Amino acid sequence: MRWRRFAMSDDGLRLENVRRSFKQGKDSLDVLQGANMAIRGGEIVALVGPSGAGKSTLLHIAGLLEKPDSGEVYLAGNAAGALGEGERTKLRRLHLGFVYQYHHLLPEFSAVENVVLPQMIAGVSRSKAKLRALDLLTRMGLAERAEHRPGQLSGGEQQRVAICRALANAPRVLLADEPTGNLDPHTAEGVFDELIKLVRGSGVAALIATHNPDLARRMDRTVRLQDGLLVEAT
């Protein structure tokens, strides 16, 4: 398989010469060494690489949860580097959805309430937020499970609720860190099918980290984190 460097774009998500190192005693571990990436709206990109390569670090930087040592992150056309923490939080709330390997649903709330809450935090009325939540849950095949709490749902159902929550505020960018990694292969296939359909229908720019080559091949393209750089399959 041949790999090439990325072309740049302002659509959706763009990383420009991002660098990140971590101190290990007297040594420095260079995880990202000038990573460049661009994802357009409506595009689904697989992020692959060996364990320890820095995929989670990359996702945290792309999601404005962590700052790079140098370089710039553009989210929905907005440069984030010079923003204060409050502005970064607002930008993340408006334009970003994140799906983790573990669902992180609030156990005391129902499925629909878990999808309603982030919308209300963003200023949406409860009635409008519930309509949006029910629509997303229905599209994920969970209409009859909307009033169930996470403990009453299967692992696959919980992760589908988490996907709905990530898309609740109609983000411009979706980041997912091994979203089916905790599921058995059959359940993972079903959840991934629903994720792809929902993402394609929303026009979001999606970056999905996965160790599963079969899932990676079903996305629009695959990029590899390799020696601190992002390269793309052709």
The string of pLDDT tens digits covering residues 86-122 is 888 888 888 899 988 778 899 999 999 999 999 998 8
**Residues in the chain where the model's pLDDT stays below 50:** 1-10
Task: Please state the three-class secondary structure of 46-85 as a single string.
Answer: EEECCCCCCHHHHHHHHCCCCCCCEEEEEECCEECCCCCH
Looking up tokens 């799906």 gives: 99
How much is the pLDDT for 116? 97
The structure tokens listed for 20 are: 């990140």
Number of helices (H), then strands (E), in the chain: 7, 11
Prediction pTM value: 0.86
Q: 11-103+171-233: CATH homologous superfamily?
A: P-loop containing nucleotide triphosphate hydrolases (3.40.50.300)
Distance CA 120, CA 124 (A): 5
Question: Which of 167, 174, 159 is CA-nearest to residue 103?
Answer: 159
How much is the pLDDT for 2? 36
Question: Which of 198, 211, 185 is CA-nearest to residue 52?
Answer: 211
